[in-house]
Structure 1
Amino acid sequence: MANEQEGVGRDATSWRGSNRIATSGADEPKYKISGDEEMEKPGWRRFMDHVGPGFLVSLAYLDPGNLETDLQAGANHKYELLWVILIGLIFALIIQSLAANLGVTTGKHLAEHCKAEYPKFVKYCLWLLAEVAVIAADIPEVIGTAFALNILFHIPVWGGVLITGLSTLMLLGLQRYGVRKLELLIAVLVFIMAGCYFAELSYVKPPTSQVIRGLFIPKLKGQGATGDAIALLGALIMPHNLFLHSALVLSRKTTPSVKGINSACKYFLLESGFALFVALLINIAVVSVSGTNVLGGSSRIVYGIALLASGQSSTITGTYAGQYVMQGFLDLRMKTWLRNLMTRCIAIVPSLIVSIIGGSAGSGRLIVIASIIIISWILGLCIIGINIYYLSTGFVDWLIHNSLPVVGNVFVGIIVFPIMAIYIISVIYLMFRKDRTVTFVDMSVESNQIEMEKGAEEPTIDHVPYREDLADIPLPQ
């Protein structure tokens, strides 16, 4: 068992309801034949067992930052940028399904793979970047919730930030009663958002033909269209969501066999597809309502309710993502409430500072800034290319048109351009560095084992997808 402890670590935890399967080393699993009554359930029952993670993940595409960019795009360009949202969410489904498959097939989430894969210096750099991504995503969520409280109850923005942090910690306490309770709460909040915006949509009645054309005919016309399109796409790029999705799927009981893993991946894909389709409809409704520029007398209240549901639910998932990032990269062992408190405080401090110093105007600008700021190599390269192009051209344009003296511009350039170069070199390093950890099922090993086992029905795989240690969440019954 020495090799098992050194190489597999927490993946060697026992799986409830299954026989223990021995391991031969850190990365190379053995295969043996066994049945599992879990696979005998009807298909709809197995699908329902996998429903939940997709809705938590979909909140990242419905947070106040997305709503803000949707409203801005609709007000400036009516329905012409809806195609950006459609393409962005299709890409999101592909990338999120890969993250889910990673967790299901390996029994480890993305942060744990990064910790095992990279040298210490690279690992800590990735951890810092992941924390920055969580904070950048959480800022619009916290401030958006604070705005909703201000709209509905006239609470100051800084007070709303504090209330948001406290309410999030209280709602996260639902995980004591099982992940299903928390997932049900999130689903309810998602459908509250949908109800609010669809009600507004039925009131303003946008022209259907223009909405359809905006969805399927790419167009970038008018001043600022490119910037608004990039902002829309940037709001849909959620790096922390990959850590979150790869970890959430581990709260489900997956049969440790090729058939069981393929089945789980299929059901998680269907569930994520449905959740992201709901997110797409809500985003379309927000843009369409904003594009008509005709709002009813109760629109302020309806928008406040939808924003409150959006912000509060997305702060919960942001805290979850922060938990998994911190635990996976640093291997921290602490009580759940303490881990929640740490990740919540890390995210709230920047929002609180800005809301106190800048007030409502500064907080609104921060939402847009945070929103602007892998299926396949092509998608990854496209996202990286957009980042490099937009940041470099924007920075050069700022250097040319700012009012700083020449010495100041030179000094800023000396600092910023090397940082950009380091970013590009780091991306190239991560692209071409050879992986060391196994993140797939070796089918050739399985075939050889099947030949050795006579009368076998189903090969089982030596990893434990169910991970009760992630957030102290009891297994759904």
Structure 2
Amino acid sequence: MLDDVSSGGWRLERGDPALSEVHGSISVPKQAGLRRIFAFLGPGFLVATGYMDPGNWATSLAGGSKFGYALLTVALLSNMIAILLQALCSRLGIASGRDLAQACRDAFPRPVAFVLWLLAEAAICATDLAEVIGTAIGLNLLFGLPLEIGVVVTALDVFLILWLQRLGFRWVEAMVVGMLAIITLCFGVQIALADPDWGAVIRGFAPTTEILRNPDMLYLALGILGATVMPHNLYLHSAIVQTRRHDGTLEGKRVAIRLATFDSTFALMFALTINASILILAASAFHAGGAGEVADLGKAHELLNPLLGSALAPTLFAVALLCCGLNSTVTATIAGQAVMEGFLRLRLQPWLRRLITRVIAIVPAALVTIAYGEQGAGALLIFSQVILSLQLPFAIVPLVLFTADRRKMGALVAPRWQTVLAALAAALIIALNAKLLVDLVTGS
């Protein structure tokens, strides 16, 4: 099982396929055309939900309410990095037949792979924690359900995912796309009510040196970047891209990589629209309205009515938050399954794996909300984003190394320009994490 010509540069031979119960379950027409393109659409939208989870909401609300439209350029940069990394995930999954977790297991010595697994599990639990809290806040804002009960209710989505997967993976994708449509409609109406300064919005996407000169703005910019590029999405995409059953020839894989990259790029541009909408809404409603910095989801909901002059706005905000939370929990639990099976070759029943992931997230969320209420839940939400930011390099660096290695990828190795840009993105994120750690240690 050690290195030889047949293993293609991997230490270990490839084991069971990623998410074997849905692997290759969606057939792709061989003839070029809209039907083949449509067959590949779906995984990118599951990935995109992770880029608009409740953690993103908190950072975008804070950035827009405090600095207006200036941080839109950071949202754009974060999205460009995400598009680049997800293109590499598609390439890895299709070319090697391994998801990122399996690739780490098959390439690194067992102790290294074990540490990477622990870090990946911590990131997924942190992700799930943010989604649990966000969903509970959405239930509280819409139905007045106490946060403690809302946290427990979120466990029920495990059964929803299982039911949908029994119908077929396309049903999971359809649910996610449907929720995204509702989120888009909600923000469309809220933006219309807020009536932002569109000239200032366009200027906000242009790079500015003010971010580097203003420490507070730089800190929020780091928060937006850290909350946008999330590690569990890299494991997720490299696994679910393999749900498509395409032509296994070299040319067939090239086409699959191209179409999968189109899918993720299109979906992530959609995610940018949502993230930008959150920031634009905060800038036009809170910053222009003189409300000051608003990072708390509940406070944002409370302020929308008097500032926009419509009782509809806070309701739409809560509906969109609930849909984002539900969507993100679906993808986080699927990512959890891929990580455990990929790193450990440990196959549990899907319902058991998802229940374990959810319980690990629910216990701290429930304890904190019971002890400290909404304020404690908000602090836990921010802490979860810090964990995600610190774990990012441990997922990005292996991804860049694998896709740049011709022995592992063969003729489908990533183009040099793509590798260079991804390496620069990884270096930027590592530098930002180093600054975050220095700030935490020094208390600045």
* TM-score where L is the length of structure 2: 0.81
Please name the residue that 1:146 is paired with: 136
- For 1:185 and 1:40, locate their aligned partners in 2 and report how far apart those are by CA, in whole Å: 27
- For 1:297 and 1:11, locate their aligned partners in 2 and report how far apart those are by CA, in whole Å: 50
Could you tell me which amino acid in structure 1 is paired with residue 70 of structure 2?
Answer: E
Q: Deviations over 1:346-404 (max 9, x none)?
A: 22222222222221100011112222444521111111111012212331236xxxxxx
Could you tell me which amino acid in structure 1 is paired with residue 436 of structure 2?
Answer: Y
Give the number of the structure whose alpha-carbon radius of gyration is greater: 1
The counterpart of 2:369, out of the listed 342, 355, 360, is 355
Please name the residue that 2:431 is paired with: 385
Q: How does 1:40-189 map to 2 (within 5 A)?
A: 40-189=30-179
Could you tell me which amino acid in structure 2 is paired with residue 397 of structure 1?
Answer: G
Q: Is 1:10–2:16 an aligned residue pair?
A: yes
Please name the residue that 1:243 is paired with: 235
Q: Is 1:200–2:246 an aligned residue pair?
A: no
Q: Deviations over 1:416-466 (max 9, x none)?
A: xxxxxxxxxxxxxxxxxxxxxxxxxxxxxxxxxxxxxxxxxxxxxxxxxxx
Quote the offset at 1:7 in angstroms: 2.8
Quote the offset at 1:153 in angstroms: 0.8
- For 2:163 and 2:31, locate their aligned partners in 1 and report how far apart those are by CA, in whole Å: 31
Quote the offset at 1:97 in angstroms: 0.9
Q: How does 1:74-473 map to 2 (within 5 A)?
A: 74-218=64-208, 219-220=210-211, 224-293=216-285, 294-295=307-308, 296-372=310-386, 373=389, 374=396, 375=418, 376-397=422-443
Quote the offset at 1:146 in angstroms: 0.1
Could you tell me which amino acid in structure 2 is paired with residue 310 of structure 1?
Answer: C
- For 1:60 and 1:181, locate their aligned partners in 2 and report how far apart those are by CA, in whole Å: 18
Could you tell me which amino acid in structure 2 is paired with residue 189 of structure 1?
Answer: M
- For 1:50 and 1:147, locate their aligned partners in 2 and report how far apart those are by CA, in whole Å: 34
Q: Deviations over 1:163-213 (max 9, x none)?
A: 111134323420011000010000010111111111100111101110011
The alignment covers a number of residue pairs equal to: 378
Q: Deviations over 1:102-141 (max 9, x none)?
A: 0000111110111111122111110110011111222211
Unaligned stretches of 5+ residues in structure 2: 286-306, 390-395, 397-417
Could you tell me which amino acid in structure 2 is paired with residue 102 of structure 1?
Answer: L
* TM-score where L is the length of structure 1: 0.75
Moved over 6 A (4+): 3-6
Further displaced range: 71-80 or 387-396: 387-396
Please name the residue that 1:471 is paired with: none
8 Å contact from structure 1 (residues 104, 254) kept in 2:
no
8 Å contact from structure 1 (residues 78, 292) kept in 2:
yes
Q: How does 1:20-59 map to 2 (within 5 A)?
A: 40-59=30-49
Question: Whose helix proportion is higher, 1 or 2?
Answer: 2
- Aligned Cα root-mean-square deviation (Å): 2.4
Unaligned stretches of 5+ residues in structure 1: 18-36, 399-477
> Structure 1 residues 271 and 396 mapped into 2: Cα distance closer, same or farther (>3 Å)?
same
> Structure 1 residues 9 and 326 mapped into 2: Cα distance closer, same or farther (>3 Å)?
closer
- For 1:342 and 1:290, locate their aligned partners in 2 and report how far apart those are by CA, in whole Å: 36
- For 1:95 and 1:245, locate their aligned partners in 2 and report how far apart those are by CA, in whole Å: 10
8 Å contact from structure 1 (residues 134, 347) kept in 2:
no
- For 1:366 and 1:162, locate their aligned partners in 2 and report how far apart those are by CA, in whole Å: 16
SS in 2 for 1:216: coil
SS in 1 for 2:226: helix
> Structure 1 residues 311 and 301 mapped into 2: Cα distance closer, same or farther (>3 Å)?
same
Further displaced range: 343-352 or 59-68: 343-352
